[in-house]
């Protein structure tokens, strides 16, 4: 398959012909790419971005900021990333768009935009695809309403919603009911234009890319373990952002290497932000051969190399509730690794997985069930009884349910096992990692 060939919708994924071997680099980090585009659009002047992920989700943010009056001239580079300039609306604020903003499948676009729009005199309808229209928005609209923004229809908890911003936004101190970087970011972005200090306290630390990037745009920001604040009002100033590789994409290559006998890979130039690489620790706790080496930084994001080699004797482990935010997008693929490990693996308090692109908890239990693995949910905990000699039954078809992380997880069953598997709606990989199959097949030649 050529690197740009569209991923097929119903894909038959065949076993890799050889172990994974050598160096890989993964596309730009999705969370950091969204923030680079949105913060640059909010800023005064022209920001220079590079390494931006070219995927459907990030394209949703790019077209949203264009609709709101930012000028984004991001062009595709030979390595498949996007790079170029974004000229923001700065102190003028966003333009009133003449049509609803369609955020596609991207929860990050929709939720962060709610914070971006709250301090301005605009009325904007936000909508999204079927999956996004099912996802909870009250967690974002509730604090923004406390700050003075309003949402119509009142009382509605899902998209489509019409947001009405206000120039006289109030700064707040908010105790978030869940660890969510999207919620934290929406409130902080609104707070940049409110008078005074806006603070978000979290029950557990969520990813902190916003706190690391806002100071680069000149916003006074303070951050500690479970709390972050911004000082407003403040105008963002254009800057340069280099986006490092996405650890959530790297996790699929790392887990493939842990599962495919004889493999040994190094994934380079990847963000080593501790709020994102919890999966390396989980793999280690399962006995996998994992190494993390810092090589530098991209802005304030630490970057480096993650190396993983196949280890025959994986064992189950327990992941405590306070670590879940650091693996929130990796639980499906880690659950697949746990299915091959001896003994029980428990992921504590994974309730947030029910409200991702699809109900990932139900999907994990269903998919592992097809493999003959005992997996169940008790309360909010996920249990998996691993089978070290697990073999894939013939003629399996997994349904990705249009969820990119599930599509890649079930693809690993075919790639790392001995039987081909079919994955329905495999083309959802274009949400975060369009070149997933090419990258992984290239490592197994």
- In the complex, which residues of this chain contact ligand S3P (CB under 6 A)? 31, 34, 108, 180-183, 185, 206-207, 328-329, 352
From the list 54, 56, 329, 349, the catalytic residue is 329
Q: Nearer Cβ to ligand S3P, position 3 or 177? A: 177
Q: Nearer Cβ to ligand S3P, position 36 or 314? A: 36
Q: Using N-to-C axis directions, what is the helix angle for 404-416 and 331-339, rounded to 10°?
A: 30
**Closest approach of ligand S3P to the CB of residue 212, in Å:** 12
Provide the token pair at 288: 């996998």
Q: Is 135 annotated as a binding residue?
A: yes
Question: Whose CA is closest to 401, among 363, 371, 436, 365?
Answer: 363
DSSP code per residue over 378-434: ETTEEEEEE-TT--PPTTEEEE-TT-HHHHHHHHHHHHHSSS-EEEETGGGGGGT-T
Q: Nearer Cβ to ligand S3P, position 185 or 311? A: 185
Q: Is 182 annotated as a binding residue?
A: yes
Q: Is 356 annotated as a binding residue?
A: yes
State the number of CA atoms in the 13 A half-sphere of 49 facing the CB: 36
**Closest approach of ligand S3P to the CB of residue 69, in Å:** 23
Q: Is 167 annotated as a binding residue?
A: no
Q: Is 367 annotated as a binding residue?
A: no
Residue 329 is a catalytic residue: yes
Q: Nearer Cβ to ligand S3P, position 160 or 332? A: 332
**Closest approach of ligand S3P to the CB of residue 185, in Å:** 6
**Closest approach of ligand S3P to the CB of residue 10, in Å:** 25
Q: Is 289 annotated as a binding residue?
A: no
Q: Residues 6 or more apart from 290 whose CB is under 8 A from it?
A: 254, 258, 280, 283, 284, 306, 307, 308
Provide the token pair at 267: 């994934």
Could you give the 3-state DSSP secondary structure of residue 444? coil
Q: Nearer Cβ to ligand S3P, position 259 or 272? A: 272
**Closest approach of ligand S3P to the CB of residue 440, in Å:** 21
Q: Please check whether residue 314 is in contact with residue 342, taking contact to mean a CB–CB distance below 8 angstroms.
A: yes
Q: Nearer Cβ to ligand S3P, position 275 or 437? A: 275
Q: Please check whether residue 179 is in contact with residue 206, taking contact to mean a CB–CB distance below 8 angstroms.
A: yes
State the number of CA atoms in the 13 A half-sphere of 107 facing the CB: 21
**Closest approach of ligand S3P to the CB of residue 31, in Å:** 3
Q: Is 67 annotated as a binding residue?
A: no
Phi, psi angles (nearest 5°) of residue 410? -75, -30
Three-state DSSP string of 161-180: EEEECCCCCECCEEECCCCC
Question: Whose CA is closest to 202, among 101, 86, 292, 321?
Answer: 321
Three-state DSSP string of 180-213: CHHHHHHHHHHHCCCEEEEEEECCCCCCCHHHHH
Q: Is 439 annotated as a binding residue?
A: no
Provide the token pair at 221: 């920001």
Cis peptide before 160 (omega within 30 of 0): yes
Three-state DSSP string of 206-245: CCCHHHHHHHHHCCCEEEECCEEEEEECCCCECCEEECCE
Could you give the 3-state DSSP secondary structure of residue 147? helix
Q: Nearer Cβ to ligand S3P, position 183 or 413? A: 183
**Closest approach of ligand S3P to the CB of residue 355, in Å:** 8
Please enumerate, by residue number, every residue annotated as part of a binding site. Answer: 30-31, 35, 107, 135, 180, 182, 329, 356, 360, 405
Please enumerate, by residue number, every residue annotated as part of a binding site for phosphoenolpyruvate. Answer: 30, 107, 135, 182, 360, 405
Please enumerate, by residue number, every residue annotated as part of a binding site for 3-phosphoshikimate. Answer: 30-31, 35, 180, 182, 329, 356
Active site residues: 329
């Amino acid at each position: 398959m050529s690197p740009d060939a569209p991923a097929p919708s119903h894909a038959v994924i065949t076993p890799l012909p050889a172990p994974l071997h050598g160096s890989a680099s993964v596309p730009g980090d999705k969370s950091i790419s969204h923030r680079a585009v949105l913060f640059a659009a909010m800023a005064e002047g022209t920001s220079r971005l590079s390494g931006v992920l070219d995927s459907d989700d990030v394209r949703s943010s790019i077209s949203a900021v264009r609709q709101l009056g930012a000028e984004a001239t991001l062009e595709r580079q030979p390595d498949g990333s996007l790079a170029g300039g974004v000229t923001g609306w700065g102190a003028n604020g966003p333009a009133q768009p003449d049509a609803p903003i369609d955020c596609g499948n991207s929860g990050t676009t929709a939720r962060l935009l709610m914070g971006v729009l709250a301090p301005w005199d605009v009325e904007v309808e936000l909508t999204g695809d079927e999956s996004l229209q099912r996802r909870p928005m009250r967690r974002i609209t509730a604090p923004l309403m406390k700050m003075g923004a309003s949402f119509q229809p009142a009382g509605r908890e899902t998209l489509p919603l019409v947001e009405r911003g206000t120039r006289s936004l109030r700064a707040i101190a908010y105790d978030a009911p869940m660890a969510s970087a999207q919620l934290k970011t929406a409130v902080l972005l609104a707070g940049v234009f409110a008078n005074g200090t806006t603070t978000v306290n979290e029950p557990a630390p969520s990813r902190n890319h916003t706190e690391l990037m806002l100071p680069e745009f000149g916003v006074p920001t303070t951050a500690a373990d479970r709390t972050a604040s911004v000082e407003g009002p403040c105008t963002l100033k254009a800057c340069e952002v280099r986006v490092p590789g996405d650890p959530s994409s790297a996790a699929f290559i790392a887990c493939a290497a842990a599962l495919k006998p004889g493999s040994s890979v190094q994934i380079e130039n990847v963000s080593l932000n501790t709020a994102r690489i919890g999966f390396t620790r989980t793999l280690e706790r399962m006995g996998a051969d994992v190494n993390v080496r810092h090589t530098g930084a991209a802005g304030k994001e630490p970057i480096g190399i993650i190396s993983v080699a196949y280890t025959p004797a994986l064992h189950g482990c327990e992941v405590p509730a306070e670590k879940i935010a650091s693996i929130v997008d990796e639980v499906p693929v880690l659950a697949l690794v746990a299915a091959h490990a001896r003994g029980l693996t428990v992921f504590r308090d994974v309730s947030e997985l029910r409200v991702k692109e699809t109900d990932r908890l139900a999907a994990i239990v269903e998919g592992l069930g097809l493999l003959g693995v005992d997996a169940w949910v008790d309360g909010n905990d996920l249990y998996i009884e691993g089978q070290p000699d697990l073999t894939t039954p013939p003629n399996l078809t997994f349904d990705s349910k249009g969820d990119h992380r599930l599509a890649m997880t079930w693809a690993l069953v075919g790639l790392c096992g001995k039987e081909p598997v079919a994955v329905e709606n495999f083309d959802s990989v274009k949400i975060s990692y369009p070149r997933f199959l090419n990258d992984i097949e290239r490592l197994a030649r």
